[in-house]
Amino acid sequence: MLDQAEGFVTADGRKIGGVVMEMKNITLRFGGVVAIKDISFDIREGEIRAIIGPNGAGKSSMLNVISGFYTPSEGEVWFRGKKRPPMRPYEVARQGIARTFQNIALFDGMSVLDNVMTGRLTQMKAGLFSQALWKGRAEKEEIANREMVERVIDFLEIQHIRKTPVSRLPYGLKKRVELARALAAQPKLLLLDEPMAGMNVEEKEDMCRFILDVNDEFGTTIALIEHDMGVVMDLSDRVVVMDYGKKIGDGPPDEVRSNPDVIDAYLGVAHD
Amino acid sequence: MFYREAGDFKTSYLEDNQTFPIRFDRYRYYAVLAVAFLVVPFIINDYWANAILLPFLIYGIASIGLNVLTGYCGQVSLGTGGFMAVGAYACYKLMTAFPEVSMFIHVILAGGITAVVGVLFGLPSLRIKGFYLAVATLAAQFFLVWLFNRVPWFYNYSASGQISAPERSVFGVLITGPNAPSWATYLFCLIFLTLAGIIARNLTRGTVGRSWMAIRDMDIAAEIIGVNPLRAKMTAFAVSSFFVGIAGALFFSIYLGAVEVGEAFGIQKSFLVLFMVIIGGLGSIFGSLAGAAFLVVLPVVLKLIGVDILGWPTDIVAHFQLVIVGALIITFLVLEPHGIAQLWRVIKEKLRLWPFPH
């Protein structure tokens, strides 16, 4: 259905480009446990790609493979047309992949502003000496990156809590700050691990709007894991379905929804 | 009344980023600096310099150093005494090998040498954390003291095994040895403390400071957003040891004059500086200074009360002093676990609204 080399145009008229990231036959083992079994899929430029599946299906492990936290036991990761050698997570971050976490992983001892500024660390190159004097490159860099960060803060509407220590914030805002930190890196690929877990309907709607806006305004490619099927089907352009470490479905939401394997995995199979 | 932000609008990120964004705070800081540099040197005497001011300034530098490592980067260290010894012996070797070079350069070079040693002993921090790292740094403490005791080259083969600072002057004024005027030694140390404070503040509010704090608060997340843990931890060890080494060099050359390594830089010194940092407040430059002041002034005040006011025998007061300081530390930490810096923050929050709290 999809043209491999070129992109396609979605129903709402957004242009989806070529393949940004391709996972080829990824297998991930922890000792005897096989978390991911021979999975291949791709993520295209500008799309919102969802990974769904029941608990323990290996979704988060998949995200961890993409962000370099786990090295796959077998298989290849291709990013922007190049095969990625095994790397440390911070090197992956420098390639332009940012993520948020299922359990919020903000830096509790720092203010919101500092937390979001850490998202810019990959872009800041001033030497220790310049920073010690707070002159020259360090100062210029600080101002330039602050401007960028303020745009993100504006965009996500968290201006009022800029200087608040994150430990004082309610859950929903923490999730938003975490998104801001990931966005501040201006990632080429943004990974969201259950961005709406534990939120009420209103917070979920806010978060959905932000995700769509990010994709729309910055053209950021997004891969997300989410349990709320309504959200996933509404947001995403294409969906990968996993169960017990295997891929059981892949395609646009409507196609996936009617896939009998997917229905079985979610609703169970009648044994007679 | 005080600490009013209302009407103090910032029109650039540069202004918003400054160390003291509130005008009152900024002027208070300038006033403190002016008094320290322009008033104190004229009224200082030997007693004040040796009992309070010099130890405060030198321990202030050491606790800023330890705070960078433990408070900002979250790496516990019990090797402060050993690293101070490295600074002291490096300074001694440099002073005796190059007598004509300025003391400023010797002290800074001593800091640099300590930074290298600190990075070496910091390497285990890449694999181990918390208590285990504390034990590893403890090993550094004992090893370094042993090394300076056993290798005669470090103390220039002197018969006593001690090192003693030769007389050196800066701009024609003697600053080491028993004949150095107290205002000169005070100013010399004050310059280093001021620079240490400013540099530490600049580093901790910028890029490298954020990567330290990210490692401290959640090292896995820090690595995933792009902090290189090796770089962050090693810079923290280097910067921290640099300051601690400078403190050690000053402690030996300016304050004590002659040093026996086990006595001056033993494990109790490591704990003393660690207490200063904890009481003052982890992750705060002001806290480092407050903690140093607290632990330097407290014994002096207790002695004053015991001997001069109550008229007790000196040895009893000396023993009581240990008990009381210990008890006060525990009480203080129970009441305010985040240290003097947190207390100060709370007071400032209150002052912003005072006298109309609603």
Give per-residue pLDDT as tens, A166-177.
999 999 899 999
Q: Give the range among A217-226, B14-23, B55-64, B224-233 with minimum mean pLDDT.
A: B14-23
Q: CB distance from A154 to chain B under 8 Å?
A: no
pLDDT at A4 over 60: no
pLDDT at B298 over 80: yes
Which residue of chain A comes nearest to B228, CA vs CA?
A: A90
d(CA A154, CA A139) in angstroms, rounded, equals 22
Q: CB distance from A187 to chain B under 8 Å?
A: no
pLDDT tens per residue, range A5-41? 567 777 777 778 889 999 999 999 998 899 999 999 9
CA distance, residue A156 to nearest chain B CA (Å): 19
For residues B79 and B120, is the Cβ–Cβ distance under 8 A? Answer: no
pLDDT at B108 over 90: yes
d(CA B46, CA A177) in angstroms, rounded, equals 54
Pairs of residues, one from chain A and one from chain B, whose beta carbons lie less than 8 Å apart: 106
Q: Is A54 helix (H, G, I), strand (E, B) or coil?
A: coil
**Amino acid residing at A92:** V
pLDDT tens per residue, range A128-155? 888 888 888 888 999 999 999 999 999 9
Of residues B16 and B296, which shows the higher confidence score? B296
What is residue A6's predicted lDDT score, i.e. its pLDDT? 65
For residues B276 and B141, is the Cβ–Cβ distance under 8 A? Answer: no
Using 50, 70 and 90 to split pLDDT, how confident is the model at A1?
Answer: very low
Mean pLDDT (whole number) for B279-283 = 91
Mean pLDDT (whole number) for B34-50 = 91
What is residue A5's predicted lDDT score, i.e. its pLDDT? 55
pLDDT tens per residue, range A74-124? 999 999 889 999 999 999 999 999 999 988 999 998 999 999 999 999 888
- pTM for the predicted model, two decimal places: 0.91
Mean pLDDT (whole number) for B184-191 = 94
- Say which of A109, A122, A143 has its CB closest to residue B226: A122
- Structural domains of chain B, with CATH: 23-265 (1.10.3470)
**Amino acid residing at B29:** Y
pLDDT at B5 over 90: no
What percent of chain A has a predicted confidence (pLDDT) above 90?
60
CA distance, residue B261 to nearest chain A CA (Å): 31
Which residue of chain A comes nearest to B74, CA vs CA?
A: A109
Q: CB distance from A117 to chain B under 8 Å?
A: yes
**Chain A 85-104, residues with CB within 8 Å of chain B CB atoms:** 88-90, 92-94, 98-99, 101
Q: Please report how the helices B285-303 and B267-280 are oriented relative to each other, as an axis angle in degrees rounded to 10.
A: 110
For residues B61 and B192, is the Cβ–Cβ distance under 8 A? Answer: yes
- Say which of B14, B211, B224 has its CB closest to residue A69: B224
d(CA B199, CA B216) in angstroms, rounded, equals 20
Largest CA distance in chain B: 70
Q: Could you tell me the two tokens for A15?
A: 């242009």
CA distance, residue B51 to nearest chain A CA (Å): 32
What is residue A49's predicted lDDT score, i.e. its pLDDT? 93
Contact at CB, A132 and B199, closer than 8 angstroms:
yes
From residue A223, alpha-carbon distances to A21, A242, B40, B82, B190 in Å are 10, 14, 63, 50, 55
Return left, alpha or beta for A219; rule: phi > 0 is left, psi -120 to 50 is alpha, else beta: left
Which residue of chain B comes nearest to A184, CA vs CA?
A: B225
- Structural domains of chain A, with CATH: 1-96+187-267 (3.40.50.300), 105-180 (no CATH)
What is residue B254's predicted lDDT score, i.e. its pLDDT? 93
Taking the CB of residue B297, how many other CB atoms lie within 10 A of it? 14
pLDDT at A272 over 70: no
Of residues B266 and A125, which shows the higher confidence score? B266
What is residue A3's predicted lDDT score, i.e. its pLDDT? 45
Any idea of the CA torsion for A207, A210, A216, A220, to the nearest 10 degrees?
-80
Contact at CB, A110 and B217, closer than 8 angstroms:
yes
- Say which of B206, B213, B229 has its CB closest to residue A109: B213
- Say which of B206, B223, B225 has its CB closest to residue A131: B206
Residue at token pair 């860099």: A141
Using 50, 70 and 90 to split pLDDT, how confident is the model at A271?
Answer: low
Residues of B near A (Cβ–Cβ under 8 Å) read 12-14, 17, 199, 202-203, 206-208, 210-211, 213-214, 216-218, 220-229, 235, 239, 283
What is residue A2's predicted lDDT score, i.e. its pLDDT? 45
d(CA A74, CA A64) in angstroms, rounded, equals 15
Q: Could you tell me the two tokens for B303?
A: 């002695």
Mean residue pLDDT across chain A? 89
What is residue B335's predicted lDDT score, i.e. its pLDDT? 85
pLDDT at B3 over 90: no
Q: Best of A95, A107, A112, A147 to disrupt the B interface by mutation (most B CBs within 10 Å)?
A: A107
What is residue B358's predicted lDDT score, i.e. its pLDDT? 67
**Chain A 45-84, residues with CB within 8 Å of chain B CB atoms:** 67-69
What percent of chain B has a predicted confidence (pLDDT) above 90?
63
Is this complex's ipTM strictly greater than 0.90?
Answer: no
Mean residue pLDDT across chain B? 90
Q: Give the range among A55-69, A88-102, B213-227, B337-351 with minimum mean pLDDT.
A: B337-351
- Strand B258-259, strand B163-164: pairing: antiparallel
